[in-house]
Chain A
Amino acid sequence: MSTHTHAHQFDTPQQQHQATRLGMWAFLITEVMLFSGMFVAYILYRTWYPEAFIEGSSHLDVMLGTINTLVLISSSFTMVLAVHAAAEGKKQAIQKNLVLTLVLGLVFLGIKAVEYSHKFHDHLVPGPNFAHEGIHGGHLQLFYSLYFAMTGTHAFHMIIGMGLLVYLFIRAGKGAFNKDHTAVELVGLYWHFVDLVWIFLFPLLYLLGRHL
C-alpha cells in the first residue's frame, strides 16, 4: 500500500481528491453559516438603528481598513501563487509564497491590533468603560459589540489559517507536495474564504452610510 498516493479507504487517487475537495467545500459552507448568524444580527440592528450604526462606522479608521483590505487581497494573490507552485512541484516557490502569505497575514493582524488598541484608548469597547454613547441610548455599543464579535471571529480564523500555512511550509520543506498537493489547494480555499469574509465585513462596518 505504501507506494500508493492515496489512503487505504479510497480506491483511487482521483476518488481521494474528489472526497477531500468536497469535504473542504462542505466545511466552508458551515463557515458561511457560522458567520451568517452574525450578519443576520448586523442587518437587523442596522435596520433598526441606522443612525447609531453610521455614527459607529465614522469612528472606525477607514485608512487602516483600506490598507488591511489591500493586504488581504495581496495575501490571496500570493496564496494563489503558492498553490500554482505546488501544482508544478516547485518546492522553493511554494515556500516563498507561503512565507509571503504568512507575512501579509501578520501585517493584517498587526494593523487590526493597532485598531483595537485605539478603540480601547478611545473607550469604544463595550462595557462599563464605554464613553461615547451620546444620544444613541446604547445602540452605539451594539454596533461596537458586533464590530468586535465579527472582526474578532474573522481574526481568529486568520490565526488558524496562519497555523495551517506554517504546517504547509514545514511539509513543503520535506517535499511532501511533489506528488499530491491537495493540502495546499485546500488551505488555499480556506484562505480565500477568510479573505472573502473580510471583503464583506469591510464595507458593512467601515463604509456604509459613513459621513466622509
Chain B
Amino acid sequence: MTRLQRKHYINNGYGALSWFLTLDHKRIALLYLITATLFFALGGAFAIAIRLELLTPAGDMVQSETYNKMFTMHGIIMVFFFLIPAIPAVLGNFLLPIMIGARDMAFPKLNLASWYIYMLGGLFTFVAMALGGVDTGWTFYTPYSSTYANSQVIITALGVFITGFSSILTGLNFLVTIHTMRAPGMSWFRLPLFVWAHYAASLIMVLGTPVVSITIILVALERLFHLGIFDPALGGDPILFQHLFWFYSHPAVYIMILPAMGVMSELIATFSRKRIFGYSFVASSSLAIAVLGFLVWGHHMFVSGQSMYAGLVFSILSFLVAIPSAIKVFNWLATLFRGSISLQTPMIYAFGFIGLFTIGGLTGLFLACLAVDVHVHDTYFIVAHFHYIMVGGVIMAYLGGIHYWWPKITGRMYPEWWGKFSAVVIFIGFNLTFLPQFVVGYLGMPRRYHFYPEEFQILNVLSTAGASILGIGYMIPLFYLVWSLRYGKVAGPNPWNAKGLEWTIPSPPPTENFDGTPEVTEEAYNYGTNHA
C-alpha cells in the first residue's frame, strides 16, 4: 500500500452526514447494502422461527395468531424490503453508471430520496410490528385484509405503498440513466447484459408497482373509510383484488430474477473468458420476459373462481415465459462450451444459480400446467417453487455478484477458500430445505398452516434441518467479507483480468468514477480478440 492515500469514494468525506446526505450512487449503494442485509437478517429470523415451529405437527411453540404474523412479516420483509431492492438497489446502483461510462445516475437526489423512502416504508413496517404485527399474509387478500383481520393492516399497507415508490423511483432513474447517460461509443448493443437486465426490470418497476400501490391503498381505504371497492357485501369483487395484486406481484418476481440473470451473464463471461454466446438473444430475452411477465398474472388464480377460459389463456401465456428463460440458460451453457473456465468463488455461485434456477424454472412448468396446479396450488409445492426462484436463484446471483464486485466496491479480496465453502454450503442447505417441501406439497400439506397432520412430520423435520444449514451458509459470508475490509489482500483495479468499464478504473472507484468521459470502442465481453 502506498502511504499517500489515493482519494476514492469511501475516503472522500467522513462522518455520518457525509453518508446520509451523499448523492454518490456508490455510497447510496452501500447504504442499501447495509440496510437490505439487516432486513434480510430480520426476515431470516422469522423464517427460522417458522421452521422451528414446523418441527412438530402440533402448534406448540407459539400461538396461531403469532405464527400467522410471523409468516406474514417474513413474506413482506423478504419480498418488499430485501428481494426487490437487493440486486438493483445495491449492485445496480453501484455498477450501472460505471458500466455505461457515466459519472453518476441521471438523478442523484432522487436516488438518495429512494433510499429514504425505502427506509420510511421500513419504519412503517416496524411500527406495525411494534403495535402487534399484521396477519394477512404478504398477499393482503380481501375481504380478510379489508374487513376481518384484526391486526395492523393499515400501517403495514402504508409501509408497502411507500416502499413501492422507492422502487418506482429507482426504476425511473435507471431507465433515464440508461437512455441518456451512455458514454460515447456505448451503443445499445454494446451494453453489458447486466445493464440490459436492469433495463427490463426497471420497465416492470415503473409500470407494475403503481398498480399494486393503488390496490393496497384501496384496501387501506376500505378499512379506514368503508370505501368498499372489493367488499362482496356491496357487490364488490375479491377476485378483482387478486387480479390487480398479481398484475404487479407476478412481474415483481421478474424484478428480482432479471437483475439476477444480468449478474449471471457477467460472471459467466468473465470466468470463462468468452463473450456471452448469442448476446442479442440474451439481451432481448430479458425484454421478452418483462413483456410476457405482464400477461401471466392469472396463473396465480386457476382455482380462484375466475373463468375456465381465463385459466386456459393464462396457462398458455405462462408456458411462453419459459422460452426466454430457457434461451438464457442454453446460451450460458454455450458460453461455457470451449471456454477457459476458472472455478473461483463467483463462478461457484453462478453454477449454484444455474442449478437452483433450473429446478425452480422446471417446477414452474408444473404450476403453469392447469391440472397439476389445481392440486398443488397453495400447498408447500408452491412454497418450494418460488423459494427456488426468488431465494435460491436470486440470492445465489446476488452473493455471486457481491463476491465478484467486492474487490471493486471495497478494494479488498476476501479469502477464496471461505468464499467457495459458503457457496457450497448454501447450495446444499438450500436443496435440503426446499426439496422436501415439493414432496410434502404434492402430498397435500397446505401452506400457511400452523400445525399439520402427523404424517407430514418427517419431511418437515428434514426441511428444518436443511434450513439450519442454509442459515449458517448465509451467515458465513457476512463474517469473512467484514473481515476482508481490514485484513483482505488489496485487490487492484482488475483482479479478475475482466473486461468492462468498471474494471478500467481504480478500486475503490473515485467519486467521479472516470477521469474524463470514457470513449467506448469495443463490444462487451471482448475476450480472445488476439485470435482475430
A: which residues have CB within 8 A of B?
Answer: 7-11, 15, 18-20, 22-23, 26-27, 29-31, 33-38, 40-41, 44-45, 48-49, 52, 125-128, 137-139, 141-142, 145-146, 148-149, 153
Does A37 contact B226, Cβ atoms closer than 8 Å? no
B209 partner, pick from A11, A22, A30, A148, beta carbons under 8 A: A30
Does A29 contact B207, Cβ atoms closer than 8 Å? yes
Does A33 contact B236, Cβ atoms closer than 8 Å? no
Contact code string B204-226 (vs A, CB < 8 Å = 1, else 0): 00111111011100100110011
Whether A141 touches B228, Cβ cut-off 8 Å, given contacts A37-B211, A40-B244, A44-B240, is yes
**B105 contacts the other chain (Cβ, under 8 Å)?**
yes
A146 partner, pick from B104, B173, B180, B229, beta carbons under 8 A: B229
Contact code string B162-173 (vs A, CB < 8 Å = 1, else 0): 000000100011
**B227 contacts the other chain (Cβ, under 8 Å)?**
yes
Does B210 contact A34, Cβ atoms closer than 8 Å? yes
Query: Do most interface residues of chain A lie in helix, strand or loop, or is the interface mixed?
Result: helix
Measured CA separation A11–B103 after assembly (Å): 9
Within 8 A of A (CB), among B234-289: 234-237, 240, 243-244
Measured CA separation A20–B214 after assembly (Å): 25
Does A141 contact B234, Cβ atoms closer than 8 Å? yes
Interface centre among A15, A35, A36, A126 (most CB of B within 10 A): A126
Does A33 contact B108, Cβ atoms closer than 8 Å? no
Does A34 contact B181, Cβ atoms closer than 8 Å? no
**B304 contacts the other chain (Cβ, under 8 Å)?**
no
Does A18 contact B172, Cβ atoms closer than 8 Å? no
Q: How far is the CB of A138 from chain B (nearest CB, A)?
A: 4
**B376 contacts the other chain (Cβ, under 8 Å)?**
no
B237 partner, pick from A26, A44, A126, beta carbons under 8 A: A44
Q: What residues on B are CB-neighbors of A45 within 8 Å? A: 235-237
B235 partner, pick from A11, A15, A31, A142, beta carbons under 8 A: A142
Does A41 contact B228, Cβ atoms closer than 8 Å? no
Q: What residues on A are CB-neighbors of B206 within 8 Å? A: 26, 29-30, 33
Q: What residues on A are CB-neighbors of B229 within 8 Å? A: 41, 142, 145-146, 149
Query: Do most interface residues of chain B lie in helix, strand or loop, or is the interface mixed?
Result: helix
Q: How far is the CB of A182 from chain B (nearest CB, A)?
A: 12
**B107 contacts the other chain (Cβ, under 8 Å)?**
yes
Q: What residues on A are CB-neighbors of B227 within 8 Å? A: 126, 145, 148-149
B: which residues have CB within 8 A of A?
Answer: 97, 102-108, 110, 168, 172-173, 175-177, 179-181, 206-211, 213-215, 218, 221-222, 225-229, 231, 233-237, 240, 243-244, 512, 517
Does B215 contact A145, Cβ atoms closer than 8 Å? no
Chosen A-B contacts, 25 in total, with CB atoms closer than 8 Å, are A8-B104, A9-B102, A9-B104, A10-B181, A19-B177, A20-B106, A20-B107, A23-B110, A26-B172, A30-B207, A33-B211, A36-B211, A40-B240, A45-B235, A45-B236, A125-B225, A138-B234, A138-B235, A139-B235, A142-B228, A142-B235, A145-B226, A145-B227, A149-B218, A153-B214
Q: What residues on A are CB-neighbors of B222 within 8 Å? A: 145
Q: How far is the CB of A96 from chain B (nearest CB, A)?
A: 29
Q: What residues on A are CB-neighbors of B243 within 8 Å? A: 40
Q: How far is the CB of B60 from chain A (nearest CB, A)?
A: 41
With both beta carbons as reference points, the residue of chain B lying nearest to A23 in the complex is identified as B176
With both beta carbons as reference points, the residue of chain B lying nearest to A129 in the complex is identified as B226
Whether A11 touches B225, Cβ cut-off 8 Å, given contacts A30-B172, A37-B210, is no
Whether A38 touches B214, Cβ cut-off 8 Å, given contacts A9-B108, A19-B180, A22-B180, is yes
Q: How far is the CB of B481 from chain A (nearest CB, A)?
A: 29
B228 partner, pick from A20, A29, A40, A126, beta carbons under 8 A: A126
Measured CA separation A146–B107 after assembly (Å): 35
Measured CA separation A26–B104 after assembly (Å): 19
Top-6 shortest CB links A-B: A127-B226, A138-B234, A9-B104, A34-B210, A145-B227, A33-B210
A23 partner, pick from B102, B103, B107, B240, beta carbons under 8 A: B107
Q: A19-B176, A138-B228 are in contact. List 5 more A-B contacts (CB 8 A).
A: A20-B107, A22-B176, A126-B226, A138-B233, A142-B229
Q: What residues on B are CB-neighbors of A128 within 8 Å? A: 226
Measured CA separation A199–B226 after assembly (Å): 26
Does B210 contact A30, Cβ atoms closer than 8 Å? yes
With both beta carbons as reference points, the residue of chain A lying nearest to B239 in the complex is identified as A44
A26 partner, pick from B102, B176, B209, beta carbons under 8 A: B176
Q: How far is the CB of B363 from chain A (nearest CB, A)?
A: 31
Does A37 contact B244, Cβ atoms closer than 8 Å? yes
Q: What residues on B are CB-neighbors of A125 within 8 Å? A: 225
Q: What residues on B are CB-neighbors of A127 within 8 Å? A: 225-226
Does A30 contact B107, Cβ atoms closer than 8 Å? no
B214 partner, pick from A19, A34, A148, beta carbons under 8 A: A34
Q: What residues on B are CB-neighbors of A41 within 8 Å? A: 218, 229, 240, 244
Q: What residues on B are CB-neighbors of A153 within 8 Å? A: 214
Does B210 contact A19, Cβ atoms closer than 8 Å? no
